[in-house]
Amino acid sequence: MTLHDYMKLANIKDAEFSDKIGKDRSAVTKYRLGLITPPLEVIAEIEKATSGAVSFRDFLHKGAAA
């Protein structure tokens, strides 16, 4: 599940989620919209904050060459 979909389903705003993972709201917005990929440490925090609903696999770029 994407971070965007998770936050929409859980009705969580960027500012609220930023408090959960200890990052700026603007960074959460960029992660949620797929504008930037968070570092692995942040992905681990996102996975923890979402109880595993959003994992590192969800940040893999779908169109990347193998």
CATH number of 3-58: 1.10.260
46 vs 59: which has the higher pLDDT: 46
**65 confidence band (pLDDT: 50, 70, 90):** very low
What was the pLDDT predicted at 61?
A: 66
- Domain borders along the chain are 3-58
Is the pLDDT reported for residue 62 higher than 60? no
Q: Please tell me what DSSP assigns to residue 5.
A: H
- Cα separation, 66 vs 44, in Å, equals 24
Dihedral of CA 33/49/44/6: which sign? negative
Q: Check: pTM over 0.85? Answer yes or no.
A: yes
Neighbours of 41 (CB within 10 A): 8
Token look-up 């940040």 returns: 59
